[in-house]
Structure 1
Amino acid sequence: MNVGVLIRMEKNVEEKFKELIDMGMNSCQLVSWNEEDFTIENADIINAAVKKYDINITAFWCGWSGPVTWDFYEGPITLGIVPRAYRFARIETLKRGSDFAKLIGIRDIVTHAGFIPENPRETNYYETVAALKQIVQKCKENEQNFLFETGQETPVTLLRLIEDIGESNVGINLDPANLIMYGKANPVDSLEVFGKYVMGVHGKDGIYPIDGKNLGKEVPLGQGKVDYPKFVAKLKEIRYQGDITIEREISGEKQKEDIKLAKSILEKLL
């Protein structure tokens, strides 16, 4: 396992790659929520920067348009593929994201699918499975894997969803902090449920929710409820071979400091 960083796809992506190298890493996941950035011109810029700095982009984290609210009340009706009102447009965005990722040689596409219904008999569950099959098929055509970012669903719900999609190019990008922040599971225990599907991992930390409306808070790695010594040991036990990509959802110098701290903690465990 190597340690990398989540990088936002911005106009100064070459500068971001240089910062990555300066921090002693060459692995990253690339993230974009702006479909207008999915152009051949941007692909050429990224490919040139990757070659210049010898960067390994392990996944493309593809966002989507429309309202986004990260809580327990508005979240279920705004996030991902589950809400009917935004489903079609987001399917098309993720398909275009897959095509863009192909231009830069990325094989794993990651996103949040939303608050997956826990009742497999619910009509919207069937509809969500059918919608996701379209995206998964597009990824298969582009020789890519489609990965679910964890958080908004329990591990067994995600396991059932993957089984019901029934394709070999479906997996999980495990964000252990999200499982804590959404109050869904202990990340170490989650690997007992869906460990065989984990193809990517985020290095992030958080605390449990303290009320019924808002998510728990993200905190610097090592200061939250993710037991990283046990978590990394479990990843080794299941023979996970991918990278751990640090995600710190703040900006500025404090973000850089926290990333460096997370890198130090993770490298000792690895």
Structure 2
Amino acid sequence: MEIGVIHTIQPDSSENMFNPVSEFGLTVCQLCCWDTTYATPEMAERVIREAKEANVRICAFWAGVPGPQQWNFTEGPVTLGLVPQAYRAERVKALKQWADFAQWIGAPAIITHCGFIPENLTDPEYPAVVEAIREVALYCESKGIGFWFETGQETPIVLLRTIERVGTSNLGINMDPANLVLYGKGNPIDALDVFGRYVRNIHVKDGMYPTDGDHLGKEVRAGEGKVEFPLFMSRLKQIGFTGELIIEREISGQEQKDDIRRTMTDLQTWLQA
């Protein structure tokens, strides 16, 4: 398991855009961007060139989509991912653009949040959500890349069910154990019993469970929340996971850098336990 960090495309940087990854002493990242105006051959060429110069491997591309995004329980179900009908078509289009971009830069897959996928499989909206995901997944498949769900707004069994119903050969999971906690959707270690065979990347992130019905739980530095990383890493090894451990800390500034460095050290300890 190689340790990396999530990293956003920096189109305005006058330096190598991968310098922040190199400054951590890391050689792998999960590249992220939300603005599809950068999904161009020219940007792809720059990414390839600067990643090579920095000796950084891109293990997947995290694909953002247009439109409003409210990361909570109130507006979240009607703004996130491919679930809201109002934004579905333009987001399918955006994900296809990112699939092209991922192919150009040699990334093995795109990753995104699909949203609050209906828990009730008889929900009349569920088939349309599955079909939208299948359309994107088939396009990715035609490009020779994977389509990976990031865990978050859905329970483990809903995610497994949806993977089974989409049915393409290129589906996987970018498992964010903190999101299962933050959204109150499940225990990360137990979730591996449900969908572990589909896990391709890990977001090393931690958090606390929600304490009211409107707001997500609080994100905290890895090791200070409810994920129980030593046990989680042990279970990953038991199921044969060999993918990347991508550190994500959703704050900014010096504290973010300090927390990432501390997590890099902690991961070495957890992996040896």
**Which segments of structure 1 move beyond 2 Å, counting only runs of 4 or more?**
12-16
**DSSP-derived class of the 1:128 partner:** helix
Q: How big is the shift at 1:22?
A: 2.4
Q: Percent identity?
A: 47
Q: How big is the shift at 1:252?
A: 1.0
The residue aligned with 1:25 is: 26
Pick closer, same or farther for the CA change 1:232–1:14 going to 2, 3 Å. Answer: farther
CA displacement, residues 238-266 of structure 1 (integer Å, 9 cap, x when unaligned): 00010100001111111100100111111
CA displacement, residues 14-42 of structure 1 (integer Å, 9 cap, x when unaligned): 54522322212111000111011111111
Task: Tell me how far apart the structure 2 counterparts of residues 174 and 91 of structure 1 sit (CA, whole Å).
Answer: 22
The 10-residue stretch of structure 1 (110-119 or 39-48) with the greater mean CA deviation from structure 2: 39-48
Q: How big is the shift at 1:13?
A: 8.7
| Alignment-mate amino acid for residue 54 of structure 2 | Y
Residues 84-163 of structure 1 aligned to structure 2 (within 5 Å): 84-163=85-164
**DSSP-derived class of the 1:60 partner:** strand
The residue aligned with 2:187 is: 186
1:10 matches 2:13: no
CA displacement, residues 109-149 of structure 1 (integer Å, 9 cap, x when unaligned): 10000000011111111000011110001100110110000
The answer as to whether partners of 2:174 and 2:199 remain within 8 angstroms in 1 is yes
The residue aligned with 1:239 is: 240
The answer as to whether partners of 1:175 and 1:204 remain within 8 angstroms in 2 is yes
1:212 matches 2:213: yes
CA displacement, residues 191-244 of structure 1 (integer Å, 9 cap, x when unaligned): 000000101110001100011000001111111111000000000000001010
Pick closer, same or farther for the CA change 1:260–1:2 going to 2, 3 Å. Answer: same
Q: Which runs of 5+ in 1 are unaligned?
A: none
TM-score by length of 1: 0.98
Q: How big is the shift at 1:50?
A: 1.2
| Alignment-mate amino acid for residue 4 of structure 2 | G
TM-score by length of 2: 0.97
Root-mean-square deviation (CA), in Å? 1.0
The residue aligned with 1:34 is: 35
The residue aligned with 1:197 is: 198
Q: How many matched pairs?
A: 270
The residue aligned with 1:75 is: 76
Task: Tell me how far apart the structure 1 counterparts of residues 169 and 42 of structure 2 sit (CA, whole Å).
Answer: 32
